[in-house]
């Protein structure tokens, strides 16, 4: 029983990792409909940002705190470049976008390999985050608690920005009905760039945080990409709320299922559940009702 | 050692070889009417009449396996340069034709075919994953050419056209189990990546455990590349096993060991025995997460012998002080020397002569003397258990009494009888 309760907590923790990886994607893919296969590489860029910052700063704790905002800027800047150089020309051509961003992802992986070398590099975990805390009969690593807290903060920040700032209102307006928003004087081009900046920046932040539990190597981003898409699709396109619920549900399901079978089988189970779920509810958990005419 | 200029010369040679290959292709295409005669593929086109002899180096220089395979490539080049500096093989200078396997088994097969048929190499060195070896095997058998494969693997194979210079299971996994049993381990938890090597290794471990009274408390597989180890580590922790046997591969090790250390599991309490973590991987995991854990290999950089001191020094001189030497690199280095020694003994570069003369050929290698077994084409190797210390290197804490004879099908072990049959 203890193990079961512990696993629920593990599920929450796994969910928060999924959420952190998927949050940026729920903006770029969910809201804008861009299939960005390079999202994983933006996460990887965040990982290397944490690594470089640590090499420069030295102190692991301080560098982690500095790296979070830098990671946001690095990821965001890469997203901005990708959007303005390539994606802008490819809106309404989702298949081309998929191929182009996949290619960009491969290029970024090779760049990382050339700059940092193929072997994984080590980002040292700060002293206060080492070890674990006993919770409900299981030991929870502090790094995971940190990631959960960060996921909560990130979701809160995105929600606040979308709901209460002028920029957020413009984003929601363009997602709701692009033509009408433009008629009302909103520059959809600038909004697209801004949304992509925030979404990619969040990938950078996720990358910085994920160095605490995972590896930092050129292929790191690949391990999060599929799960991130899964979360966004299951949660329903365009809804942050959907991503949150889907991430926690998938994380918990994976953790509990894994306890009674194996990790590989649990993964299969997750996919089966999602396939069945999407058959019944193709639009995902939550639907965004738009006023667009198309 | 003035290896650098040689490398440049080699690059030029490579370009020339490539040009020659292309010219050859065009020529072949031009003489379409003679295509019928070309189908006698088994006829070797190896030309050893000149001052040089060509060999192939087939390693992944791009893709996910390049992390490991580029190090093997470096070791092959080092051995070739040393042999050339000492006068070559049969008085001929060895010339390397390099190809990129690109981490794709199909590319390995394709490039192997190209090296054999177009570059006419006398032997090929390389390959890493079992999938790449399985893909190349029919190519080498059909063309009757030779592959030297330098990585420990799951055994249960013995092709007349492949020489296996890494460990087979009875030179790595079984000694590791013997060591654990010796130190009083009575229960194990098995963690591995989900592919052929860990599955086969764990089948062997289960059979061994059943015979030796060791209890296997759990067996978990994670997808290759998986970084979510929370549940597995919780289960390992809850099982209370005496030790963990780890066959995870690649980046998964980083996530696993971080999680392991963070929930407070220590090597004193529950040691982890790994078979895929060498000097190269320790850095990425972070020494604070893995210090004190165990690994099973045949070679460590810290092995004390004059041969190893010379090997490590030559390697660092050539590739930089920060580089480390690891087991697969050493096995690849040995493979070139073993090939050269066999050629010298046979007095010929022909495949049949090498096969006929391979038995008993030995080399005083960095890990100790290695001897080719002519029956199964594996080599006798010394098994070593290493402990990871604070400098990131592995130090031998146990070693077998001399080289262990290779037994890829585990025929010498009664408890493994059923395993071999089912395979």
Condensed to tens digits (0 to 9), the pLDDT of residues B245-255 reads 999 987 788 89
Residue B302, pLDDT above cutoff 70: yes
Residue pair B259/B230 in contact by the 8 Å Cβ criterion = yes
* B16 shares a domain with B142: yes
Residue A3 confidence (pLDDT) above 80? no
Residue B209 and residue B103 share a domain: no
With beta carbons under 8 A apart, name residues in chain B contacting A215: 227, 251, 253-255, 284-285
The total of structural domains in chain A comes to 1
Averaged pLDDT score across all residues of chain B: 87
Indicate whether A143 pLDDT > 60: yes
Query: Apex CA B252: angle with CA B251 and CA B256, to 5°?
Result: 125
Q: What is the pLDDT of residue B50?
A: 87
Per-residue pLDDT for B362 more than 80? yes
Confidence of residue A7 (pLDDT cuts 50, 70, 90): confident
Residues in chain B with CB shorter than 8 Å from the CB of A259 are 231, 235
* Angle of CA points B385, A212, A9, to nearest 5°: 100
What is the domain extent for residue A19?
2-280
Q: Does the distance separating the beta carbons of B223 and A120 come in below 8 Å?
A: no
Whether the CB of A54 is below 8 Å from some CB of chain B: the reply is no
A205's CB contacts (< 8 A; 6+ apart) are A20, A46, A68, A71, A72, A75, A150, A154
B23 compared with A107, residue with greater pLDDT: A107
Helices (H), B225-372: 230-239, 252-262, 279-285, 287-290, 306-319, 327-346, 351-357
Identify whether residues B333 and B255 lie together within a single domain.
no
Question: For the residues B235-257, what does the mean pLDDT come to?
Answer: 91
Judgement on whether residues B96 and B119 belong to the same structural domain of the protein: yes
Q: Determine the pLDDT at residue B13.
A: 47
Domain shared by B338 and B350, yes or no: yes
Which one, of B191, B241, B188, lies nearest residue B216 by Cα?
A: B188
Q: Is the ipTM of this complex over 0.90?
A: no
Total domains present in chain B? 2
What's the whole-number average pLDDT of chain A?
Answer: 87
| pLDDT over threshold 90, residue B20 | no
Tell me which chain B residue has its CA closest to the CA of residue A214.
B255
Mean pLDDT of B276-296: 89
pLDDT band of A58, cuts 50, 70, 90: confident
**Looking at beta carbons, which residues of chain A come within 8 Å of B237?**
139
> Is a pLDDT exceeding 60 seen at residue B32?
no
Q: How many Cβ atoms are within 10 Å of A37's Cβ, its own excluded?
A: 20
pLDDT tens digits along B330-343: 999 999 999 999 99
Counting residues of chain A whose pLDDT is more than 90, the rounded percentage is 41
Asked whether residue A291 is domain-assigned, the answer is: no
pLDDT value at B17 more than 60? no
Tens-digit pLDDT profile for residues A214-231: 888 888 888 889 889 989
Contacts of A143 in chain B (CB under 8 A): 258, 262
The verdict on B66 touching A (C-beta cutoff 8 Å) is: yes
What confidence score (pLDDT) does residue A54 get? 94
A139 vs B contacts (CB less than 8 Å): 234, 237, 263-264
Q: What is the mean pLDDT of residues B96-106?
A: 92
Same structural domain, B35 and B105: yes
What is the per-residue pLDDT across A169-209, written as a single tens digit (0 to 9) for each? 998 888 888 888 889 888 888 999 999 999 999 999 999 99
Q: How many CB pairs under 8 A join A and B?
A: 128
Q: Do residues B336 and B405 both lie within one domain? A: no
Mark whether B177 and B204 lie in a shared domain.
Answer: yes
Tell me the two tokens of residue B397: 């804490």
Please tell me the predicted confidence (pLDDT) of residue A138.
72
Domain CATH code at residue B211: 3.40.50.2300
- The DSSP letter of residue B48 is -
Q: Identify the closest residue of chain B to A120 by CA–CA distance.
A: B284
What's the CA gap between B93 and B80, in Å, rounded? 9
Q: Per-residue confidence at B43, pLDDT binned at 50, 70, 90?
A: low
Give residue-wise pLDDT tens across range B188-230: 999 998 888 899 999 999 999 999 999 999 999 988 778 888 8
Kindly tell me if the per-residue pLDDT of B421 is higher than 60. no
Mind listing the pLDDT tens digit for each residue in B392-416? 999 999 999 999 999 999 999 988 8
The whole-model pTM stands at: 0.80
* Per-residue 3-state assignment (H helix, E strand, C coil) for chain A: CHHHHHHHHHHHHHHHHHHHHHHHHHHHHHHCCCCCCCHHHHHHHHHHHHHHHHHHHCCHHHHHHHHHHHHHHHHHHHHHHHHHHCHHHHCCCHHHHHHHHHHHHHHHHHHHHHHHCCCCECCCCCHHHCCEEEECCEEEEHHHHHHHHHHHHHHHHHHHHHHHCHHHHHHHHHHHCHHHHHHCCCCHHHHHHHHHHHHHHHHHHHHHHHCCCCCECCCCCHHHHHHHHHHHHHHCCCCHHHHHHHHHHHHHHHHHHHHHCCHHHHHHHHHHHHHHHHHHCCCCCCCCCCCCCC
CB-based contacts of B272: which residues, under 8 Å, 6+ apart?
A: B243, B244, B245, B246, B257, B260, B293, B294
pLDDT for A267 equals: 84
CA distances to A143, B170, B176, B221, B283 from B392, in Å: 23, 27, 20, 27, 7
Any domain includes A286: no
Q: Who wins on pLDDT, B421 or B97?
A: B97
Q: Give me the residue from A17, A119, A122 closest to B286, CB to CB.
A: A122
Q: How confident is the model at residue B311 (pLDDT cuts 50, 70, 90)?
A: very high
CATH code, A87: 1.10.3470
**SS3 state at B8:** helix
Distance separating alpha carbons of residues B70 and B76, to the nearest angstrom: 10
Measure Cα distances from A17 to A203, A214, A223 in Å. Answer: 12, 11, 12
Q: Are B133 and B162 in contact (CB under 8 A)?
A: yes
- B/e letters for B133-157, b = 16+ CB within 10 Å, e = fewer, are bebbbebbeebbbbbbbbbbbbbbb
Residue A233's closest CA among A223, A216, A251, A246?
A246
Instruction: Tell me the C-alpha distance between B396 and B382, whole Å.
Output: 12
Most confident by average pLDDT, A8-12, B48-52, B129-133, B315-319: B315-319
The answer to whether A132 and B294 have CB atoms below 8 angstroms apart is no
The mean-pLDDT minimum among A51-60, B23-32, B71-80 falls in B23-32
Closest residue by Cα to residue A147 from A200, A74, A212: A212
Angle subtended at Cα B76 by Cα B155 and Cα B135, rounded to the nearest 5 degrees: 40
Q: How many angstroms away from the CA of B46 is the closest CA of chain A? A: 35
Quick one: three-class SS letters along A87-153? HHHHCCCHHHHHHHHHHHHHHHHHHHHHHHCCCCECCCCCHHHCCEEEECCEEEEHHHHHHHHHHHH
On whether residue A287 sits in a domain, the answer given is no
In a domain? residue A269? yes
Residues B179 and B290 in one domain: yes
Cα B342 to Cα B353: distance, rounded to the nearest angstrom: 9
Q: Does B25 score more than 50 pLDDT?
A: no
pLDDT category of residue B1 using cuts at 50, 70 and 90: very low
Mutate which: A17, A122, A125, A257, vs B, most B CBs within 10 A: A122
What CA dihedral angle connects A28, A162, A212 and A219, to 10 degrees?
A: 0
Q: What is the per-residue pLDDT for A94?
A: 81
The residue-averaged pLDDT of B42-66 equals 84
pLDDT of residue B2: 41
Of A9-18, B37-46, B138-147, least confident by mean pLDDT is B37-46
Tell me the residue range of the domain where B190 lies: 173-297+383-422
Q: Which residue has the higher pLDDT, A176 or B128?
A: B128
Contact B220 A267 (CB under 8 A): no
- Chain B contact for A220 (CB, 8 A cutoff): yes
């Amino acid at each position: 029983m203890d193990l079961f309760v512990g696993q629920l907590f593990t599920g929450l923790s796994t969910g928060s990792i999924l959420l952190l990886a998927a949050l940026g994607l729920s903006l770029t893919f969910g809201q804008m409909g861009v299939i960005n296969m390079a999202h994983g590489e933006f996460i990887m860029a965040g990982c290397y940002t944490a690594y470089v910052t640590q090499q420069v700063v030295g102190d692991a704790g301080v560098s982690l705190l500095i790296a979070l905002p830098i990671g946001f800027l690095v990821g965001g800047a890469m997203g901005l470049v990708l959007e303005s150089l390539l994606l802008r020309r490819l809106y309404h051509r989702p298949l081309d976008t998929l191929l182009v961003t996949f290619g960009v992802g491969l290029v970024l992986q090779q760049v990382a390999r050339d700059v940092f070398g193929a072997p994984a590099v080590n980002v040292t975990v700060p002293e206060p985050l080492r070890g674990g805390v006993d919770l409900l009969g299981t030991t929870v690593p502090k790094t995971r608690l940190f990631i959960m807290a960060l996921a909560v903060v990130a979701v809160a920040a995105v929600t606040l920005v979308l709901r209460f700032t002028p920029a957020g209102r413009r984003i929601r307006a363009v997602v709701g009905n692009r033509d009408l928003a433009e008629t009302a004087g909103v520059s959809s081009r600038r909004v697209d760039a801004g949304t992509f900046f925030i979404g990619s920046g969040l990938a950078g932040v996720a990358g910085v945080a994920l160095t605490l539990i995972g590896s930092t190597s050129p292929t790191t981003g690949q391990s999060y990409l599929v799960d991130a898409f899964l979360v966004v699709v299951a949660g329903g396109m365009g809804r942050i709320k959907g991503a949150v619920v889907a991430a926690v549900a998938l994380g918990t399901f994976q953790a509990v299922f894994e306890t009674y079978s194996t990790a590989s089988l649990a993964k299969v189970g997750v996919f089966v559940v999602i396939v069945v779920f999407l058959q019944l509810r193709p639009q995902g958990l939550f639907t965004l009702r738009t006023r667009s005419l198309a | 050692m003035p290896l650098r200029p040689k490398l440049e010369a080699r690059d030029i040679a490579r370009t020339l070889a490539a040009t020659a290959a292309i010219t050859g292709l065009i020529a072949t295409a031009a003489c379409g009417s003679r295509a019928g005669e070309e189908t006698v593929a088994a006829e070797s086109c190896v030309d050893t009449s000149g001052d040089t002899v060509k060999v192939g180096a087939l390693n992944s220089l791009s893709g996910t396996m390049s992390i490991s395979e580029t190090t093997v490539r470096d070791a092959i080049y080092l051995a070739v340069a040393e042999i050339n500096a000492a006068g070559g093989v049969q008085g001929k200078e060895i010339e390397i034709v390099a190809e990129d396997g690109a981490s794709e088994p199909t590319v390995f097969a394709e490039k192997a075919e190209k090296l054999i048929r177009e570059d006419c190499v006398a032997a090929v060195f390389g390959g890493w994953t079992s999938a790449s070896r399985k893909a190349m095997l029919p190519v080498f058998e059909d063309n009757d050419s030779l592959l030297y494969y330098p990585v420990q693997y799951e055994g249960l194979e013995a092709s007349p056209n492949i020489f296996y210079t890494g460990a087979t299971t009875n030179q790595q996994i079984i000694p590791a189990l013997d060591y654990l049993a010796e130190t009083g381990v009575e229960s194990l938890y098995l963690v591995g990546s989900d592919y052929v090597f860990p599955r086969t290794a764990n089948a062997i471990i289960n059979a061994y455990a059943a015979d030796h009274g060791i209890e296997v408390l759990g067996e978990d597989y994670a997808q290759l590349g998986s970084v979510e180890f929370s549940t597995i580590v919780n289960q390992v922790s809850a099982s209370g096993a005496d030790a963990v046997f780890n066959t995870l591969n690649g980046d998964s090790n980083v996530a696993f060991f971080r999680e392991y250390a963070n929930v407070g599991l220590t090597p004193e309490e529950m040691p982890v025995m790994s078979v895929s973590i060498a000097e190269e991987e320790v850095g990425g995991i972070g020494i604070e997460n893995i210090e004190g854990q165990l690994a099973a290999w045949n070679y460590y950089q810290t092995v004390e012998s004059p041969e190893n001191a010379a090997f490590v020094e030559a390697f660092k001189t050539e590739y930089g002080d920060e580089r480390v030497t690891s087991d697969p690199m050493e096995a690849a280095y040995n493979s070139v020397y073993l090939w050269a020694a066999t050629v010298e003994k046979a007095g010929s570069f022909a495949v049949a002569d090498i096969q006929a003369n391979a038995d008993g050929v030995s080399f005083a290698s960095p890990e100790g003397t290695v001897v080719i077994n002519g029956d199964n084409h594996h080599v006798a190797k010394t098994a070593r258990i290493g402990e990871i210390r604070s400098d990131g290197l592995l130090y031998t804490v146990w070693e077998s009494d001399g080289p262990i004879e290779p037994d890829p099908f585990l025929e010498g072990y009664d408890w493994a009888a059923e395993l071999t049959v089912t395979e």
